[in-house]
Structure 1
Amino acid sequence: MKNKPTKLDKQFKPRTGAVDRRARSPEPLPHSMEKLLHELREHQVELEMQNEELQQARAALEESHHRYLSLYEFAPVGYLTLTLEGKIIEVNLTAAGLLGIDRGKLINHPFTELVSPQDSDRCYLLLKNVLKHEEEHKITELMLKRSNGFFHARLDCLPVTADDQTPLLRVTLTDITESKRIEEELRIAAVAFEVQEGIMITNADNVILRVNRAFTDITGYSAEELIGQTPRMFKSGYHDANFYDEMWECIHRSGYWQGEIWDQRKNGEIYPKWLTITAVKDNAGNVTHYVGSHTDISERKASEEEIKLLAYYDPLTSLPNRRLLLDRLQQALAASARSRKYGALLFIDLDNFKSLNDHLGHDMGDILLQQVAQRLIDCVREGDTVSRQGGDEFVIMLEELSENVEEAAVKAKAIGEKIIASLNQAYRLVNHEYRSTPSVGITLFINHRHEINTLLKRADIAMYGAKAAGRNTLRFFDQDMQKAVTARAALEADLRFALGKNQFKLYFQRQARHDGQTVGAEMLLRWEHPKRGLILPHEFVPLAEEIGLILTIGQWVLEAAGAQLKRWENHERTRDLQLAVNVSARQFHQPNFAEQVRAMLKKSEAKAERLKLEFAESLIFGDIDDTIDKIKILKEIGVGFSIDDFGTGYSSLKCLAQLPFDQLKIDQSFVHNIGVKPTDTVIVQTIIGMAGSLGMDIIAEGVETQQQREFLERHGCRVYQGNLIGKAMPPEAFEQSLGV
């Protein structure tokens, strides 16, 4: 039995001829249709790929365009485009920067207005010729303006045609200012290289790289022979290894050396030259080259020698003349000061030389003088000087004889006797045999104790003494005087070393009132000579003044006084004592003397009121204003002042009243004659009265007897110094005498 259709079945019942898609599969497309669809899909994919490539190409093109614009705008050279009329229609940023003008202001600006006035005509012709295609391509150089001046520019000009066939000019602009400067420097250097001075350039290893023509002329070598060699090929053998070591040490240290050097030419000739070597360094300070400047000084040296011969040598005998002798004698004196050895001058005069000239003529006399000169040279040592003073007078200078005066005299005498014996031998004067005798005068010298002319005069005097003694003999300058001079020279030499060898000693002599109370002491200087024993000041202080040592000695004494006062402060028996110190006039008149005293007091921390400075009356009044100023300065800090040896000088009462001294010291020579010479006794009384009138203290030195002390006390002088009060003694003994 068949089922009846439902309502739902009726609703979805397919229509006649319709396809029931749910119940049936679609029929396949024809083959041609499927192929077409496949091709369409492939074409669509291809189009999509082409579109992507097009987008990439467009992006690459834009990037390339931007890069081109960047390269154009910021190129290392400037670009400009000019119209036929010479106006700028296009300019890149580099060109605007070179010209120092804003790009906007350059557009339509005439290019000719940017050119310096001296180049304007050339610029006009350039534009005219190139724009009219009379020249296809043109490179030129012009001076162009810029905001801060002018600059050298190279212009590379190329005519072009715009799209509308308008003729234009494309200009490439390059700033060549620096290259022009370098070119000019190279041009100058090239000219400078070919100067008259020889120039040699080496590398850091001293290999010759280049020489100029002057150098080849000087050395005789060609440039080809020199390049690749080293300067060692020029060595003359005149200089040792130390010379070259010192030269290169200087170059390595300072980068520079100059001096005289002897080199050898190609032909073997040794010649002098002035050499300057300069090291060339890079930015890192490393040597890259050496430049040597060589000047041949052969002619100059020859001229100098000729001038020297004329100026310093006797033309007849070729011996040093008086001028050269004086120069060498000056050096010998300086050398003797260092070596402390005596030298000697021998003055030689030929006996009866005038008779030879009168009888045989001056030609024979000249021959004799030449032979005498040679014999004198043969009689002395290599380092000694034989000179001709003129006529028949010769002077010989002997150096470094001996430190001992007697030994020096013996050596000088021996040479003098040798000279006499030699000059006594017969001379051959052409066809004549001739005999002559000399008279010789000798004087010794050491240090700068005597002026040169004085030494020559003494030797001359000694020579006349030999003539007076009968000729053909020798004599020393006055023996007594020579001994005194010799002794003084020895003393001077020893004095210069005394301070350094601690030979100076300080002694103290008590100063006391009439009741025996010690009020102070005078500090006295003594020289304990290792051979002569104790030397008192009057024997060496004048000499120290003369040779300038007194300043050093005086300063040492001042500092010792400050130290002594400071030590005395530590004991009740000495803390109130006043110490008197002698000051020389030369020391006192130093501009900074007051500052020296104040510095000494500050350093020692001694009390200024315990220091008393003593000055000799005869020396203190040379510059009254200077004396007053310095005394006032030091008195303000408490230093006291005393006139030593009063009565022996020449000071007036007016001058004395002006000086703010605290004390007068009666000279011991007057004290010694109290009761012996009435005039000196009166002088003592007058000095005591004068001191009272001027408000000064009075002290007498050299008090030896009780009678002298009583006289002084009776007439108002109540402070004394002398052996009666206490002898001068070393500091330890002095302090012991006071119970310290």
Structure 2
Amino acid sequence: MAFFTGNMNGVGCVVRTGALAATLQGFKCPQWLSRLLHHLLPSMELRDQYDLLQHEVAELRKRLLEAESELRITRHAFESQDGILVTDANNIILKVNSAFTRLTGYRQDEVLGMTPSLLKSGRQDASFYRRMWNELREHHYWQGEVWDKRKDGTIYPKLLTIRAITDDRNHIINYIATFSDVSQQKEAKENIYRLAFYDPLTQLPNRRLLMDRLSLALVNSQKNKTYGAIFFIDLDNFKTLNDTKGHDFGDLLLTEVSSRLRSSVRQNDMVARFGGDEFLVVLEDISADEQLATQGALRVAEKVCQAISHTYELKGYRYHCTASIGISILSGEDNIHEILRRADTAMYHAKQTGRNTYCLFDPHMQEMIERKAGLEADLRMAVSQNQLLLYYQIQVDAEQRAYGAEVLLRWLHPVRGLVSPAQFISLAEETGLILPIGHYVLSTACQQLKAWERHENTRDLVLSVNISIRQLCQEDFVKQIRDILEATKINPSRLKIELTESLIMEGTSDNAQKMLELQQLGIHFAMDDFGTGYSSLVHLKRLPLNQLKIDRSFVGNIVHNANDAVIVKAIIAMAAALDLQVIAEGVETREQMEMLRQYGCTAFQGYLFSKPLPLEEFHGLLH
């Protein structure tokens, strides 16, 4: 029955059946067999065709199932999370998916027969689309970021991919576009960028972006042969606002200052927050002439100073702020760090000359900074190598009998010699070295009081010690004094602590409480330089004081200046009314002393009696 097999081709099957008949005719077979075969052959041909049809049906069924599977996959792919748009060769929309509707707001029936141009936002110009279509025609593919517009008018960024579909002759017959909304990705990327390059409080460029911009400014300055300038701006007394009103008020001030700075300079100038209460302004391309550029920078600095100094309204609180500005002229021959150093130096000079001003860098400023840095290094060495000495200036009563002394700090430098306190005390305050120095002075003074207790002619002496407000502001200052008293076992009433009037006024209520605790231990307090600050009777009543010290500026002119005489007389009378002792410092003549005695002053200190002396000479003076 091999003749029933074949190549599944109908023609081949029929040929095989006909060949069988011809072959049978060539054989000599019985007549009855020949008639039977002629009778069966038509049936065999029909059966062969039936088998062929069955096979073709099975093949068609298989192909149909495959097509349905592919269609199902295509349908699911078409309804993906990405928007899909299909157009014909003329860019007429034929079909969109549900994601298209979700992303754009347009239903399919609203866009069929339209072109994708209805989605344009207007942010891309005609040249952008020309480049897109040129690439599609050449490569049948384009991908990029496009800003489109939703039905509600919202403009958003999307990542768009377009593929051109061609026929067998490579003619474009369709375009398929897929796109996704990348708003969140762009926003996240922009947030990362802003966090990296912008200050989160003021939204100004931060130090990192400033350095990049400054580098570019130097390159442009060299290329264009022009001069610019950089301002280093530091707010005056900003810490006071933070300490008294809180950091939220400080943040409000910084935000307002940044706004005023932006409005005070040109749009292409850069304002940056350098850190804390420090700002930098970069002025580019002021002039090709250095002198004109300098004059222009000074005019802008004046404008900035005025803008910052106007009163601020911070949550209903009126605050007056000023700034110190250092200016450095910028040219392409400079480097970043040198420019910043010069501007910073000029800013510190502006602070030293009274604040609320601006200062142009001068080379002499750098010399001053270097001398100051050298002095600071030597002072640190002096603390560790015991180069600091205590001198003593006698204090006398109305009969010129010694009742005490003021301990004064001196610095015996191995090369500089004896360094005046006026040269290093303010530096010690600024650098924080005043804390270990102050502790050393207090401890040494108490040790000296203990030594004096052993001798009859010195056991009743009172020793006055100046302390800085930074010492008093230490949280453990009371404990430090307790520890010193415990270690030396002195009579606390023989120790008198002097605080300058201006520093007491800058202090806080916590400092008054510390003074009260120390007074309860027996320690006395004197207000030094009284009359030079802004004390009120309320402050004098609130503070636990025992003595007022009349400043030498009034005593020196008391004989020849009636106003000074009236002031001194009033101070003495006020002290008596408040039950406070009074001592006058800077007494240099007998006329001054007699006048002070007439007004009621009973204690004196000055060159009339003795200049400050080393301990051995002071002991000789007492004898």
Q: Please classify the TM superposition score into its range, dividing by the shorter chain length.
A: 0.3 to 0.5
**Relative contact order: is structure 1 or structure 2 higher (C-alpha 8 Å, sep ≥ 6)?**
2
TM-score under structure 1 normalisation?
0.41
TM-score under structure 2 normalisation?
0.48
Greater Cα radius of gyration, structure 1 or 2 = 1
